Amino acid sequence: MFGRLLALPFAIGAMIMLYLTWEVHENYAIYIVPFVLCLAVVYIFSPQINWWYYSRNPPELDAPLREMLLERSPFYQKMNVADQQRFRQRMALFIMGNEFMPQSMEEVPEDIKGIIAMQAVRMTFGQETFILDQFEKFVICPSWFPSPQYPEDFHTSEVYQEDGVILYSAEHLMHSFMQPKQAFNIGLYELAKAYRLNYPDLRYPDLEEKLWLQLEEISRKSRTQIAEYINLKEEEIDLFGVTVVHYFEEANAFEKALPELYLHLKDIFGNQLRP
């Protein structure tokens, strides 16, 4: 990380002054203080320093995740070379700029981080900002999990606004990514909910209950099936989040069936490549 490289000269300077204090004269001790203060500043602000540097010098995405993009992302495959590079760099920055916390597992697998980053960058690719600054923590559980919001319902995904956390079942997140026609995309669904909470002042569409039937006609996934996959009650499923999933996953059918809503969402999320 760039912050560590930046801290290195100050650490060396402090060690030199400590050596001179010990071996030459105690008056050198006063010169240790500036180096230690600089180290403290770099340590405290290292996340901001790292983000400043890497946003201007974007890293390349790791090879396994690049391969996953080539094999599993129709959106990425249709991009030109410059946009593909931008997409990969944004994914790498998203992974770097967010905290992935394992729950009941030793660590979060890199492919799970990649799937989340891919969905987030895909959703915001038409915009300058792609980090949800109020939701920078992702808690990953092996499978179904309870939570303070739903203590009795073992579910597969959730947004917990109070702590700025998005929670996922790794098993169901992976399944929804690998089998998009059979499963519901919980990755994009929760990110869409978080997006609306992160940017509450945008002009969002007023969605009516009859939209559920229209979305079912588009994707052949009913409200009941989606609720069963997330394992929450039907009335607890967010219509906006489901609509955004259909907007991205079923773009052609969505525009044909709901042209005005399609244009409204296009204004919110920007131009999108179609699968």
> Is 196 a member of any domain?
yes
DSSP E strand boundaries for the chain: 99-102, 137-141, 157-160, 165-169
Domain holding 129, by residue range, is 64-269
The pLDDT of residue 81 is: 93
Strands 137-141 and 99-102: parallel
The pLDDT of residue 164 is: 95
Distances (CA, A) of 207 to 216, 243, 250, 255: 15, 9, 18, 16
Eight-class DSSP state of 78: T
Gap between the Cα atoms of 253 and 16, Å rounded: 68
Say how many C-beta atoms besides its own lie within 10 A of residue 11's C-beta. Answer: 15
49 and 79 in a single domain? The answer is no
Please say whether the dihedral angle defined by the alpha carbons of residues 35, 40, 46 and 52, taken in this order, is positive or negative. negative
137 and 260 in a single domain? The answer is yes
The pLDDT of residue 171 is: 97
91 and 24 in a single domain? The answer is no
201 and 129 in a single domain? The answer is yes
Q: How many structural domains is the chain composed of?
A: 2
88 and 195 in a single domain? The answer is yes
Long-range contacts of 252-257 (CB under 8 A, 24+ apart): 253/218, 253/219, 254/218, 257/214, 257/217, 257/218
> Is 180 a member of any domain?
yes
199 and 74 in a single domain? The answer is yes
14 and 105 in a single domain? The answer is no
Strand partners, 155: 145
Gap between the Cα atoms of 25 and 21, Å rounded: 5
The pLDDT of residue 8 is: 73
243 and 129 in a single domain? The answer is yes
35 and 86 in a single domain? The answer is no
> Is 274 a member of any domain?
no
Query: pTM of the prediction?
Result: 0.84
Per-residue pLDDT tens digits for 35-79: 777 767 666 766 666 556 656 677 889 999 999 999 988 889 989
49 and 74 in a single domain? The answer is no
- Residues of the chain where predicted confidence (pLDDT) is lower than 50: none
> Is 188 a member of any domain?
yes
195 and 235 in a single domain? The answer is yes
> Is 214 a member of any domain?
yes
135 and 218 in a single domain? The answer is yes
Per-residue tokens: 186: 């919980």
Q: Which residues contact 109 (CB under 8 A, 6 or more apart)?
A: 170
Of the three residues 55, 83, 100, the one that is the final residue of a domain is 55
